[in-house]
Structure 1
């Protein structure tokens, strides 16, 4: 009888815990004008582990990234739009369709692959140990990879049709996949800036500086979707400019977007140091710099076979914070800006890639590509106002 009483009390206690699921509702307004506008809410209750977002009674796919304590979703905003965020202390019960994807694969000794969220090394030896040489991420409209080597350059993969492909092509499509209209790598970045890579700058030699001396480097996938991917490249003890600094570069790609939000956080003594980013120079390219944005359209293809891999023009663009620009620059590979970190050690910006093989860009002129991608990054770099209603 005594054991039965204890068991009943225990069951009542568990039931009371379940009944105490915490819930709260935030009402949020977003002010701005942007289709497929990324919205990030950082005012997250400490106890919350999931959320549901609604607007006008309709549920909107969202993503709660616990490591970052951020809730993200994408919605059209034309003026002011109101959202209802319902927080819960229970795990999410909903699954939304995946509109983005991220992957990183370590090579085993038998040449098989195993998925990894985090890889690190204290030497520059990861390039050949990883399939497609680093982490890769995609939306329906574009894919990117980050080389895990001293260059840390961003490479691009174009989409012919809007869809996710990397889980199938693993960055390198087969003949059958190419014949079926899959996209592929569309640039040969070499030692350039690619698009939107943050590097050091050697003023005396007028060239970029790679990450050659360091204590430790790490690549990590923080979030895989369904609304956004978040990928980070971190370096500790980077010897640059006579200093020893740290840097974390975070790349965020949203559903419905080809543009990538970049958040660089630099720690240590970075006072007076300059960094550089921009777009690579391509064969026969046109270039345009306007205010805090630059773009180039050209062709520098990664394959020599021009029959199987027919050439087409690529547009690259970057928009940076105007107040952090110290000078325009260029070297033999890239068009660049020289940038200073802000008072918090941050250098944040946006980059984008368009490809004329994409179904939605067929027949578009170089001039239209150039001005279009330039306008796109400038819009993406313009913040919208997110406000919680008290």
Structure 2
């Protein structure tokens, strides 16, 4: 009887302890062999890496960091909960989308996307480019998946700095954590935020910004309303701005910065409006 009880307990722990996250990093020419890391002195592997950069996912969304001068964070939204990257490779067919798969509804353009990181030199945004080298890494723990993008030798205020952006997704938790690190030991001012388009609705609070609307994307089978939100500690920032395409948050000089991001879309059953997204992020 004891053995049966222990077996049942072990089975339950295994089921409820499942890691509902995953990583994806591979060369576009070969979708079979997945990588844990890759680098480039040019800083641009956009055209040769699958889905243009490293990616991670949880049940509700996938996120990628562009391996290019953008180093922006993009979103893959899902209609139903589950892991899709290993099969969909970010771009499911129109037939798969109609059957309930997610899609790339989100458009980043020249912005930071959702929670992407750049620098601020006191007067303007400084991209994490050019670089002397750019590295991407992915990994997993028992309950998380993470990706990192390290941009080495970025020119900033007359010096060279190394900046790392890390994105972590958690099993059974919608929010992803975005962290920025100055690996050189120099304090820098980071810039992050969330982009938007004409016709978007916006909700703001003391520690969050949430937007909702249709992105002008052209790779999905249909255009769907998408929501995106960033939650932050207002004490970490000295300035907020709006450049007409994105709401930007400019940090105090620091070596480390952390925010949380979340996205949802109108195809979901749980969070499918701006009001529901705001209620969640609050």
Question: Cα distance, 1:175 vs. partner?
Answer: 2.8
Give the Cα separation in 1 of the matches to 2:99 and 2:252.
46
Q: Bigger radius of gyration, 1 or 2?
A: 1
Check conservation: 2:163, 2:183, Cα contact below 8 A. yes
Structure 1 segments (4+ residues) deviating >4 Å: 56-62
Give the Cα separation in 1 of the matches to 2:31 and 2:101.
24
Counterpart position of 1:216 = 133
Counterpart position of 2:207 = 292
Q: Which one has more relative contact order, counting CA pairs under 8 Å at least 6 apart?
A: 2
Secondary structure at the aligned position of 1:197 is classed as coil
Of the three residues 168, 173, 192, the one matched with 1:277 is: 192
Counterpart position of 1:103 = 24
Aligned length: 274
Check conservation: 1:107, 1:114, Cα contact below 8 A. no
Counterpart position of 1:261 = 177
Return the TM-score normalized by structure 1: 0.65
Check conservation: 2:19, 2:144, Cα contact below 8 A. no
Residue ranges of structure 1 left out of the alignment (5+ in a row)? 1-55, 63-74, 76-95, 376-390
Give the Cα separation in 1 of the matches to 2:18 and 2:65.
25
Secondary structure at the aligned position of 2:263 is classed as strand
Secondary structure at the aligned position of 1:184 is classed as coil
Check conservation: 1:354, 1:369, Cα contact below 8 A. no
Cα 1:61–1:214 change in 2 (3 A) is: farther
Does residue 353 (structure 1) correspond to residue 263 (structure 2)? The answer is yes
Give the Cα separation in 1 of the matches to 2:47 and 2:280.
33
CA deviation profile, 1:82-109 (whole Å, cap 9, x unmatched): xxxxxxxxxxxxxx6441111111134x
Does residue 316 (structure 1) correspond to residue 225 (structure 2)? The answer is no
Superposition pairs of residues 340-379 of structure 1, within 5 angstroms: 340-342=252-254, 345-362=255-272, 364=273, 366=274, 368-375=275-282
**Two-structure CA RMSD over aligned residues (Å):** 2.5
Question: Cα distance, 1:202 vs. partner?
Answer: 5.3
Give the Cα separation in 2 of the matches to 1:187 and 1:212.
23
Superposition pairs of residues 92-171 of structure 1, within 5 angstroms: 97-108=18-29, 114-171=33-90
Counterpart position of 1:80 = none
Question: Cα distance, 1:298 vs. partner?
Answer: 1.7
Does residue 250 (structure 1) correspond to residue 171 (structure 2)? The answer is no
Give the Cα separation in 2 of the matches to 1:319 and 1:135.
23
Superposition pairs of residues 64-83 of structure 1, within 5 angstroms: none
CA deviation profile, 1:41-86 (whole Å, cap 9, x unmatched): xxxxxxxxxxxxxxx9997569xxxxxxxxxxxx9xxxxxxxxxxx
Residue ranges of structure 2 left out of the alignment (5+ in a row)? 1-8
Check conservation: 2:168, 2:177, Cα contact below 8 A. yes
CA deviation profile, 1:219-260 (whole Å, cap 9, x unmatched): 00122x552101111122211222211112111101112211
